Chains A and B, each alone.
Chain A
């Protein structure tokens, strides 16, 4: 597990070195990422900002182990995840990464508690126990009273909270959040960001939020701007041109 590369930052939760990704497009090959070198620290709310087509989805996919880079390596908490076998990588994700999808992707036919408990159930925990644990998490998100309802019976905000609960229920060390405020008005968006800051940010947990919602940029601890497959800005605040 010891990092081979001398340049690796040992304090970093995630570090990418020379991550390049090509996509075939007909006869041509489009390079979406151009050798990204990046270190994400734990305990911070990191924003990944970029226009559509800037490659931020590709980058985040690579960072959380669901898309193979064409070149380069990714270390998540000291593990070179693309060195793992397929199955080991899947299990690594299950153990270490929490996902909050933009569309939530809740399972429509199981209730809120069960949806929140999916990562625990996937680990093999008994359904009863997993639900109890998930209900506690829902309680922390103030929607314990909705635990027995199906996603279709919940409001959008409640569904999002269930999705957040699902991302956090197994206490992952990396939380990835895709456009959490895209569908919300400014006020709700800020409330969600407050909530995320409250429950997701922890001492030994990295939290990456993919967004291009400029209404919430002020809530970031760190903002990374991606343009045309390259990091063009890295700082506490957004550059002026945005």
Chain B
């Protein structure tokens, strides 16, 4: 209002200015106050199909890494204290290599006892043979005397009895020798059984026993003493929902990535599909098992990697789907 330069009107000048400023402030507040509902890219990429599978029909599954031999839980035939553990986790062992030994003192004592028995039996045999020889010589002597008065009939009978007894004693002593030898053999076998050896060549995965612990062959709940398996190569056992099972292109390689490292995907060759569809085993630390879902287990061979996969690790896998004929036509038309 240049007409009233000194007379500033509140209603006509200040108020509209406040109004305009207020409007601008409100617009700014509203514009900047709008909630952030932008979609964000995940900071870390979860498992995803890549390459040729990215936009092709596929089946996803999750699974676990296992040795190609599957896991061997090594047990012990005999109970006892562990006297020595010869391997540690990660060791590679050949077939027959000693894994651990169980205390053998008792068996060794039995062996010594048996060996003593053998010695005793051998001595008895010698003694019996000597007695037999003496008796037979005496009998022969009596029989060679023509003069019936010189040797009484009774003496002859006595000599015959002595010879017979000596013969029997020899047989007895021989039997005792055989027994002692058998006892010694048993003890030696026991001794061998107290030394546990690797059933196959492979890697020691877990050692759950320590020197001095008591291993028992009784009861099944306890964890295996030593777990091992052939880890060259590793296999993965992929669970596929039974609904999806029919779509899997069996024989095709799968793309596998470990949990938490989705970007490191490797190609795994098909090995086999398990003939049996089994209940899904939950690996979520939950006590209960899910019984409502059954899964087809398909096994793939992992390539050589530098420690990316470890036995027992969970993996995500993408497998090409079998393209049925109508689907193929559909895909072509798209």
Contact = CB atoms under 8 A, between A and B. Distances in A.
A and B touch in the complex (CB under 8 A): yes
B10 to A, nearest CB: 14
Contacts of B54: none
A114 B3 CA distance: 10
A128 B5 CA distance: 13
A131 interface: yes
Nearest to B6: A148
A127 interface: yes
Interface string A108-131: 000000100000000000011001
Interface string B82-95: 00000000000000
A131 B4 CA distance: 12
Nearest to A114: B3
Contacts of B4: 148
A170 B91 CA distance: 116
Nearest to B11: A109
A24 to B, nearest CB: 44
User: Interface on chain B toward A: helix, strand, loop, or mixed SS?
Assistant: loop
Interface string B224-267: 00000000000000000000000000000000000000000000
A241 B2 CA distance: 58
Contacts of A148: 4
Contacts of B3: 114, 127-128, 131
Interface string B1-25: 0111000000000000000000000
A178 to B, nearest CB: 30
A3 to B, nearest CB: 45
A148 B2 CA distance: 13
B315 to A, nearest CB: 84
Contacts of A128: 2-3
Contacts of A127: 3
Contacts of B2: 128
A134 to B, nearest CB: 12
Nearest to A131: B3
Nearest to A110: B3
A222 B273 CA distance: 128
B4 to A, nearest CB: 8
Contacts of A131: 3
B90 to A, nearest CB: 97
Interface string B285-319: 00000000000000000000000000000000000
A74 to B, nearest CB: 39
A127 B2 CA distance: 11
Nearest to A113: B3
Nearest to B7: A148
A35 to B, nearest CB: 50
A128 B4 CA distance: 11
B13 to A, nearest CB: 15
Interface in B1-53: 2-4
B3 to A, nearest CB: 7
A127 B4 CA distance: 12
Contacts of A114: 3
Nearest to B2: A128
Interface string A203-215: 0000000000000
A127 B3 CA distance: 9
A134 B67 CA distance: 107
A171 to B, nearest CB: 23
A131 B1 CA distance: 13
A150 B282 CA distance: 91
Interface string B174-192: 0000000000000000000
A131 B3 CA distance: 9
6 contacts: A114-B3, A127-B3, A128-B2, A128-B3, A131-B3, A148-B4
3 closest A-B pairs (Cβ-Cβ)? A131-B3, A128-B3, A127-B3
